[in-house]
């Protein structure tokens, strides 16, 4: 067994946690404490996530890959080091980190966000990282699959849901998201620098994995309450106790939403629908305006807004289709109440877009409240060849009227969200 470095020995053999540190490592003299040591229950949840198998679903006839997060981290990290790309540390981020710290937040965990803090100085390093991830997927293909003819391009098309690269003066990072049909994508994020690392305090947590990964490599004995590595959690919001209190009490708090791409507007409405509430109603009303302003700066065209909303609904409501309408109704209310940066017709366009998406959600769920006013359905004649022809016509009517919900769709809450337009009657 490899010899442990002296600085890790106490972590592996002692249940006594080390002193907490500030973000700059200067100790706990400051008022804001950003780090905390995970307790045994939290360590167990973290271990279950890292050692559990997550399926990566392939498109077409490509087989499903069974991947353990600890294994893919090991493979990717070792190959980055072989290519002389130094990995400073690996962290767990996002909803999975929040779940580890507090199991009953009401959010569960969706994507598995793994951050590789690495030195990415130029385009060459970004390309190497991309090639390493795609090449690593070959290691997880089932036995009997002929790997020789599978190219990186083929692997990308089969298993990667999205790729993002950001390279400017303040942000240098890339993201490769591996597909999972149940909404638990494995997202590998490679970060050299990132100015804004959170949207709200409840999603600001990162868990440092290096001590646990070293334990997996070195220890011959399983973990126990009195024998496990010391693992640190951090809140990049800046105040760990406060952020954890927000998570436990389901409070929404943020700062400077104008720094967030999209303003955090979509996540904010998602938190409201999941039972979270503003820590300060007065402050949040003001911040809503900044959220809406930044959202419309980043997505000024109604076509871009549609694509963003449809993507958000698809990615964040797997297994929660019955919440989609409430989400869109909440979004409608926030946009209607807090948007001050748009011209009147632009604002009406956006509200009409949200209304039409809400109507489509109701139709998909067979939850249209009543049949007094119905959508006209026209079957196009054979000579209609326009590819953009739609056989659904939803009226864009102002003002907006509400209809009472019909049982058993009590979750529609239409009395609280009177937001969708009456459909044109058939004559």
Phi, psi (deg, nearest 5) at residue 309: -65, -45
369 pLDDT above the threshold of 70: no
**Dihedral angle over CA of 190, 196, 201, 205, nearest 10:** 20
Q: Given this model, what pLDDT does residue 367 score?
A: 65
* The predicted structure's pLDDT at residue 64: 95
The residue among 198, 205, 209 whose CA lies nearest residue 254 is 198
Nearest-5° Cα angle at 20, 14 to 26: 130
C-alpha angle 15/246/52, rounded to 5°? 55
pLDDT, greater one: 6 or 357: 357
| String of DSSP letters for 33-81 | --EEE--HHHHHHHHHHHHS-EEEPPSTTPPPEEE-HHHHHHHHHHHHH
Number of other CB atoms surrounding residue 426 within 10 Å: 9
- Strand-pairing partners, residue 162, are 177
Q: Which residue has the higher pLDDT, 283 or 30?
A: 283
For 251, the 3-state DSSP assignment is strand
- Residue-level pLDDT at 395: 41
Give the model's confidence band at 177: pLDDT under 50 very low, under 70 low, under 90 confident, else very high: very high
Q: Global pTM?
A: 0.79
pLDDT, average across residues 377-402 = 45
Q: In this predicted structure, what is the pLDDT of residue 370?
A: 52
Task: Inform me whether the pLDDT recorded for 125 exceeds 50.
Answer: yes
What was the pLDDT predicted at 412? 41
Mean pLDDT throughout 3-30? 38
Provide mean pLDDT across the span 106-127. 91
Query: Which region holds residue 327: left if phi is over 0, alpha if psi is between -120 and 50, else beta?
Result: alpha
Instruction: Give whole-number Cα distances, 313 to 10, 266, 307, 321, in Å.
Output: 46, 10, 10, 9
What mean pLDDT, rounded, does the chain reach?
Answer: 83
Residues 111 and 185 sit within 8 Å (Cβ to Cβ):
yes
Comparing 36 with 406, the larger pLDDT belongs to 36
Rounded Cα distance between 169 and 195, Å, is 10
Predicted confidence at residue 120, as pLDDT, reads 94
* 22: confidence class by pLDDT, cuts 50, 70, 90: very low
Instruction: Decide if pLDDT at 156 tops 80.
Output: yes
Sign of the alpha-carbon dihedral angle for 199, 200, 201, 206: negative
pLDDT at 215 over 50: yes
Which runs of consecutive H residues, i.e. helices, occur in 253-383?
265-273, 281-298, 302-316, 324-338, 344-364
């Amino acid at each position: 067994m490899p010899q442990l470095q002296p600085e890790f020995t106490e972590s592996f053999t002692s249940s006594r946690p080390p002193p907490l540190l500030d973000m700059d490592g200067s100790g706990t003299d400051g008022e804001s404490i950003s780090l905390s040591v995970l307790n045994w229950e939290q360590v167990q949840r973290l271990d279950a996530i890292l050692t559990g198998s997550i399926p990566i679903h392939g498109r077409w006839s490509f087989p499903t890959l069974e991947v353990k997060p600890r294994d893919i981290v090991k493979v990717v990290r070792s190959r980055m080091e072989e290519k002389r790309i130094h990995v400073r540390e690996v962290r767990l981020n996002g909803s999975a980190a929040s779940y580890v710290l507090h199991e009953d937040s009401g959010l569960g965990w969706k994507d598995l966000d793994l951050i590789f803090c690495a030195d990415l100085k130029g385009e060459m390093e970004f390309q190497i990282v991309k090639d390493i991830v795609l090449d690593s997927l070959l290691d997880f293909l089932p036995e009997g699959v002929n790997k020789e003819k599978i190219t990186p391009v083929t692997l990308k098309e089969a298993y990667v849901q999205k790729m993002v690269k950001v390279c400017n003066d303040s942000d240098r990072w890339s993201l490769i998201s591996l597909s999972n049909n149940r909404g638990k994508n494995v997202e590998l994020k490679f970060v050299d620098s990132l100015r804004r690392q959170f949207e709200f305090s409840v999603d600001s947590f990162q868990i440092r994995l290096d001590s646990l990964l070293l334990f997996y490599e070195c220890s011959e004995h399983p973990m126990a309450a009195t024998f496990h590595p010391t693992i640190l959690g951090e809140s990049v919001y800046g105040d760990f106790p406060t952020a954890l209190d927000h998570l436990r009490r389901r409070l929404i708090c943020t700062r400077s939403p104008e720094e967030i791409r999209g303003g955090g507007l979509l996540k904010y409405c998602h938190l409201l629908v999941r039972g979270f509430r503003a820590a300060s109603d007065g402050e949040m009303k003001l911040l809503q305006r900044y959220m809406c302003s930044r959202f419309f700066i980043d997505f000024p065209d109604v076509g871009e807004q549609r694509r963003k909303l449809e993507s958000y609904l698809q990615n964040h409501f797997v297994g929660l289709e019955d919440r989609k309408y409430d989400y869109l109704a909440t979004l409608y209310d926030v946009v209607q109440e807090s948007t001050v940066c748009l011209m009147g017709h632009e604002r009406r366009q956006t509200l009409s877009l949200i209304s039409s998406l809400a109507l489509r959600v109701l139709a998909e769920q067979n939850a249209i409240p009543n049949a007094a006013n119905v959508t006209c359905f026209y079957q196009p004649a054979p000579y209609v060849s326009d590819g953009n022809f739609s056989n659904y016509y939803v009226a864009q009517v102002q003002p907006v009227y509400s209809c009472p919900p019909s049982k058993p769709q009590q979750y529609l809450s239409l009395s609280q969200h009177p937001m969708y337009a009456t459909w044109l009657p058939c004559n």
